[in-house]
Structure 1
Amino acid sequence: MPITVRRAIEVMGLFFLGWIIVLGNGVLAPILMAFFISIMLLPLYRFFRKYKFPEMLAISISLLVLLIIGGLIIWFFSYQISMLVQDFPVIQKNVMRHLSALSAWVERHSPFSTAEQMELIRTRSSGLLNYAGNFLSGAALSVTSVFVFVALLPIYIFLMLFYRNLLLRFVFLWFPEEMHARVGDVLREMQVIIKSYLFGLLIQVSYMTVLLGGILLIIGIKHAILIGLIFAFLNLIPYVGALLGNIIGVLLTLASSSELWPIFAVLGTIAVVQFLDNNILMPRIVGSKVKINAMATIVGVLIGGEIAGIAGMFLSLPIIAVLKIIFDRSHTFRQWGVLFGDERPDRSPMKDPALRDKSEAVHKELKRENKIEPPHEDE
Structure 2
Amino acid sequence: MNGMPLTVRRSIEIMGLFFLGWFIVLAKGLLTPLLLAFFISIMLMPLYRFFAKYKLPDALAIIISILSMVVVFGLIIWFFSVQIGNLISDFPVIRKNVTLHLNALSAWVENHSPFSTTEQLNFIREQSDKLLGYTGTILSGAAGSVTSVVVLLGLLPIYIFLVMFYKNLLLRFVFFWFPKEQHHKVEETLQEMQVIIKSYLFGLLIQVSYMTVLLGGILLLIGIKHALLIGLIFAFLNLIPYIGALIGNIIGVLLTLASSSELWPVFAVLGTITFVQFLDNNILMPRIVGSKVRLNALATIVGVIVGGEIAGVAGMFLSLPVLAVLKVVFDRTEQFKQWGVLFGDERPERSPMEEPLFRKKSSRVRKMLERENKVEPPQK
TM-score in same-fold range (> 0.5): yes
Aligned to 1:212: 215
In the TM superposition, what is the alpha-carbon distance from 1:120 to its structure 2 partner?
Answer: 2.0
2:121 to 105, 114, 118: 118
Report the AA paired with residue 235 of structure 1.
Answer: N
- Residue 254 of structure 2 corresponds to residue 261 of structure 1: no
Matching residue of 1:316 = 319
3-state SS of paired residue (2:14): helix
User: How far apart are residue 376 of structure 1 and its match?
Assistant: 6.0
**Number of the residue aligned with 2:51:** 48
**CA distance in structure 2 between the aligned counterparts of 1:180 and 1:365, rounded to whole angstroms:** 28
Cross-structure match for 1:99: 102
Aligned residue for 1:90? 93
C-alpha change, 1:287 and 1:147, in structure 2 (3 Å) is same
**Aligned equivalents of 2:290, 2:334: Cα separation in 1:** 26
Which digits, 9 at most, give the CA deviation of each residue in 1:64-106, with x for residues without a partner? 1101001111111111101100001110111111111111111
Say which SS state the counterpart of residue 335 (structure 2) adopts: coil
Contact 2:291 2:376 in 1 (8 A): yes
Q: Give 1:315 shift.
A: 0.4
- Measured in 1, the distance between the counterparts of 2:346 and 2:107 equals 54
Distance 1:365 1:144 in 2: 51
Letter in 2 for 1:227: I
Shift of residue 375 of structure 1?
6.1
Contact 1:234 1:245 (C-alpha < 8 Å) held by counterparts: yes
Residue 363 of structure 1, CA deviation = 1.9
Q: Which letter does structure 2 place at the counterpart of 1:282?
A: M
Write out per-residue CA displacement over residues 121-155 of structure 1, whole angstroms, 9 at most, x where no aligned residue: 22332211012332222112111111111111111
In the TM superposition, residue 57 of structure 1 has moved relative to its aligned partner by: 1.2
What is the aligned partner in structure 1 of residue 361 from structure 2?
358
| Equivalent residue in structure 2 for 1:342, among 340, 345, 361 | 345
**TM-score of the superposed pair, with normalisation by structure 2:** 0.97
What is the match of residue 70 of structure 2?
Answer: 67
Q: Which amino acid aligns with 1:96?
A: T
More displaced 10-residue stretch of structure 1: 15-24 or 115-124: 115-124
Does 2:298 match 1:295?
A: yes
> Alignment RMSD, CA only?
1.2
- SS of the residue corresponding to residue 333 of structure 1 reads helix
User: Which residue of structure 2 aligns with residue 283 of structure 1?
Assistant: 286
**Which aligned runs of 4 or more in structure 1 are off by greater than 6 angstroms?**
none
Mapped partners of 1:85, 1:23: distance in 2: 40
With 141-150 and 298-307 compared, the bigger mean Cα shift is at 141-150
Render the CA deviation track for 1:172-229: whole Å, top value 9, x for unaligned: 0001111111111110000000000000000000000000000000000000000000
The equivalent residue for 1:24 is 27
Distance 2:378 2:350 in 1: 26
Contact 2:367 2:377 in 1 (8 A): no
Deviates more, 1:324-333 or 1:345-354: 345-354
Please tell me whether the aligned partners of residues 60 and 158 of structure 1 are also in contact (alpha carbons under 8 angstroms). yes
1:292-336 CA-partner distances (Å, limit 9, x unpaired): 000000010011001100000000000000000000001110000
Read off the aligned partner of 1:362 and give its amino acid letter.
V
- Does the C-alpha gap of structure 1 residues 237 and 87 become closer, same or farther in structure 2, counting only changes over 3 Å? same
CA distance in 1, matches of 2:128, 2:351: 57
Q: State whether residues 217 and 224 of structure 1, in contact with CA within 8 Å, keep that contact through their aligned partners in structure 2.
A: yes
Residue 155 of structure 1 pairs with residue 149 of structure 2: no
Cα separation, 2, equivalents of 1:40 and 1:375: 21
Identity %: 74
Q: Structure 2: which 5+ runs fail to align?
A: none
- More moved, 334-343 vs 366-375: 366-375
Q: Which residue of structure 2 lines up, in the alignment, with residue 332 of structure 1?
A: 335
